[in-house]
Structure 1
Amino acid sequence: MTERLVVIGGDAAGMSAASQARRRRGPDDLRIVAFEKGAHASYSACGIPYLVGGEVADPEELVSRRPEVFRDEFDIDLRLHSEVVEIDLDRRAVAVRDTDTGAGGGGGGAPRWEPFDRLVVATGAVPNRPDVPGVETEGVYGVQTLDDGTALLDAVAEKPERAVVVGGGYIGLEMAEALVRRGIRVSLVDLAGQPMSTLDPDMGALVADALRDLGVELHLGERLEGFEESGGRVSAVRTENRTLPADLVVLGLGTRPNSALAEAAGIPVGETSGIRTDRRMRTAAEGVWAAGDCVETFHLVSRRPVAIALGTHANKQGRVAGINIGGGYAAFPGVIGTAISKVCEYEVARTGLSTTEALRAGFEPVGVVVESTTRAGYYPGALPMKTKMIADRATGRLLGAQIVGREGSAKRIDTLAIAVWHEMTVEEMTGLDLSYAPPFSPVWDPVLITARKTAQRLEELRGRD
């Protein structure tokens, strides 16, 4: 008897799950139907700032696979403009409506019911929207989906003079740069005292300097109070200290798991509001998997649940779910919070825990910052970079690391991520056999220098005990 797999969500996690399940089970054994409420599927949301900034010329360049590829080559029935509005676990069906017409084919405009034997919930994340007056005003944009990106691109084409970005996380900073590239005057508002609050303050200060060099006007430590409008469009952003004129506003306040649909169906969610799964991405509901930005995962250093919205995790989790649905075995081990971004000429990266996060997790962190260069100092094009390592005072274990520097700096975070993943001590890291040639690194790579300096600092502290 042919089983029916329904996938809710047509981006990274959902389509990875569908594709992996198809590779292991043919269409005579498993029919796969995927519902995506937007106009695009299987695209790179991380590329949206570069679309808005002009580095990417066309939205279609961000699409990994077009719908007809899934239909013709994978025999996956991908249906766009189709929003799942309810999951009925007893009925083993989902209610679907057409996002263009609002109808579902169920009679009287009611949603239609689509049966499933197995279900993957891959509903992604939703942007955090501040609960302030005027947030629904036209001209206030969130940036989560490719549809959001194309809407913002259309707004930028109208040649606005002034923009305000609310929020100083990765998306906020990338969008600020994108708008500056378009010749728009940009102000950034954030309640935090520094941008990129996932970094330690000393490293975040470097990012703030980079933004100011770019021409972004920073208003840090200011509470947002609302949005003003004129003629039906946003005209200003009001904080506790000032009113900033704005022709458009971009919200970069982060995201939260889009788990409401699952929770309403009785599928348990965790303390982060993400859907709870086991390592095989199975939920507590029989025959129901979840993957991607909508789920709660496990931080391997803090040993606590986290919800981190990244395409890398979504693809891996979707793959794990699909393999298991297809009859194989796969598990998702957890995360350590590795991330990387760019602000103008500066590269920013982090992995593991920040100092604040390490304290909350019960460690006694010791942080050391080392300034170095991306290449041998005498080699043309050597650029400055700063590396910070955070180690546990008791054991010397590397808990986290951060990098801020010019071109050629940030991908060193991958070496540090491997060290964090394998619970290496900074003393062990001093002996790592890293590559060396003057065009790529000083003879002592910044990773090795910082490990050595951190190990020395730990020895000094132990000498005082």
Structure 2
Amino acid sequence: MTTERLVIVGGDAAGMSAASQARRTKGRDELEIVAFERGHYSSYSACGIPYWVAGDVEGPDRLIARSPAEHRSRDIDLRMRTEVTELDLAGGRVRSLDLESGAESWTGFDKLVIATGARPVRPALPGIDAPGVHGVQTLDDGRALLDTLSRATGRRAVVIGAGYIGVEMAEALLRHGFEVTVVDRSEQPMSTLDPDMGRLVHEAMTRMGITTVTGAAVTGVLTGDDGRVRAVATQDAEYPADVVVLGIGVEPETALARAAGLPLGDHGGLLTDLSMRVRGRDAVWAGGDCVEVLDLVSGRERHIALGTHANKHGQVIGSNAAGGYATFPGVVGTAVSKVCDLEIARTGLREKDARAAGLRYVTATVESTSRAGYFPGAAPMTVKMLAEFRTGRLLGVQIVGREGAAKRVDVAAVALTASMTVEAMTALDLGYAPPFSPVWDPVLVAARKAVAAVRRAGA
């Protein structure tokens, strides 16, 4: 019996899910698995870092799903603090660098998995690398930020970027007692929402005591005589800062793939087929934050960095690399977040996404509550729905509200996956009791209003 070798580049969600699934499928005598991870941790939740910084969860150990020792006990040769520096696809080998000893070596493979993840966007601005400026992508980043917060003599913080990470970190800094300013170049915070829904987030953040500056591009990070950050500058103003957190987002980490000549999409991510096999390569798979995936609503490729997708990719890759067959059909773009007690959710297309895809649409926005209006604790929420002109096919949903708002987006995510119309949605048999929902759930109220908008547009 010939033993094949599966080499995996990247030891977090996608990579180690692939390794674990492949090992469940084939034993060591049939498949040797070697994985490389340049960091100090494996299989951890990067999404949990803002909540560790905020104090909601202990870390970093609580954020680790499976340690290197646990992987090794399952016959996976996981090599930590080892960075892959070159992919030799023609020769069937990878070059790696031991970051502790400096030693280089080559490792051959029969099958290869690329799970290199994403890197934080770090614009080439003056002062961006000054002490006191932090990205938040790895557990090491979280530890470094907490150390800075504990030693900071001033209590002013600036977050650059008002996306998911930006608003989550704004809350974390607020809870550490900092005066927080969020600076973003977009019209409203949370550009993953339409501006009218982002405005609701903006207003809520202002009420929380977070200064939110929109329509302002950062031009540089200013430093003091000691070289540490002292302010963030835009074209029109300076915002004093004792600590700066970058929340601008991430982009696919595909430098190795690019150098190896592998196909990349418009967003810089690797392109794969439904089996997560890299297009044009029989023995190379890729998954996680380094790939682009099919948007089931628009029919276009997009880059979405989420642990949920990465783990699913890994399961598919592991099955296929071990000789089985599995597919990842695509996504509808579902995401939820929070800032203090405000919940934010979206799935499907925004208005500008629909326009970019050449879709004609109508919108419906409703204000409702999380519970029956007479029941204690009923909290307001706003639901916005997009439906296709004439057909009434659901295109997207956005929700902003208090407790009980965010997870309602899952109903819409299922409806999008099933290509339901808004009219069909109005008949959904959702759970009802006064402590959980009004008689008409807010999503169904929005669907009813969207039906009326479709009919008016058709008339």
Q: TM-score, normalised by structure 1?
A: 0.96
Q: For this pair of structures, how many residues does the alignment match?
A: 455
Q: Say yes or no: does 1:376 pair with 2:372.
A: yes
Q: Which amino acid aligns with 1:246?
A: A
| 1:202 Cα deviation from its structure 2 partner | 1.1
The question of whether the paired residues in 2 share the 8 Å contact of 1:123 and 1:258 is answered with: yes
| 1:75 Cα deviation from its structure 2 partner | 0.8
Aligned partner of 2:180 in structure 1 is 186
Q: Say yes or no: does 1:54 pair with 2:48.
A: no
2:36, 2:424 → 1: CA distance? 49
| 1:356 Cα deviation from its structure 2 partner | 1.0
Aligned counterparts, 1:229-308, within 5 A: 229-230=223-224, 231-283=226-278, 284-308=280-304
Aligned partner of 1:108 in structure 2 is none
**Residue aligned with 1:212, SS:** helix
Aligned partner of 1:107 in structure 2 is none
Q: Say yes or no: does 1:434 pair with 2:427.
A: no
- Return the match for 2:108 from 95, 103, 115: 115
1:83, 1:259 → 2: CA distance? 14
Aligned counterparts, 1:284-433, within 5 A: 284-433=280-429
Aligned partner of 1:17 in structure 2 is 18
| 1:236 Cα deviation from its structure 2 partner | 1.1
The question of whether the paired residues in 2 share the 8 Å contact of 1:210 and 1:344 is answered with: no
Aligned partner of 1:89 in structure 2 is 89
1:85, 1:162 → 2: CA distance? 39
CA RMSD of aligned residues (A): 1.0
| 1:135 Cα deviation from its structure 2 partner | 1.2
Aligned residues with identical type, % of pairs: 57
1:28, 1:139 → 2: CA distance? 50
Q: Which amino acid aligns with 1:254?
A: G
Structure 1 unaligned regions, length at least 5:
105-110
The question of whether the paired residues in 2 share the 8 Å contact of 1:127 and 1:144 is answered with: yes
1:275, 1:378 → 2: CA distance? 51
The question of whether the paired residues in 2 share the 8 Å contact of 1:51 and 1:153 is answered with: no
| 1:391 Cα deviation from its structure 2 partner | 0.5
Q: Which amino acid aligns with 1:397?
A: R
1:227, 1:212 → 2: CA distance? 24
Per-residue CA distance 1:445-464 (angstroms, 9 max, x = gap):
1111111111112212222x
Structure 1 residue ranges (4+ consecutive) displaced by more than 3 angstroms after TM superposition = none
| 1:50 Cα deviation from its structure 2 partner | 0.5
| 1:154 Cα deviation from its structure 2 partner | 1.3
2:339, 2:117 → 1: CA distance? 25
| 1:267 Cα deviation from its structure 2 partner | 1.4
The question of whether the paired residues in 2 share the 8 Å contact of 1:8 and 1:120 is answered with: yes
Aligned counterparts, 1:79-158, within 5 A: 79-101=79-101, 103-104=102-103, 111-158=104-151
1:170, 1:289 → 2: CA distance? 28
**Residue aligned with 1:49, SS:** helix
1:450, 1:397 → 2: CA distance? 14
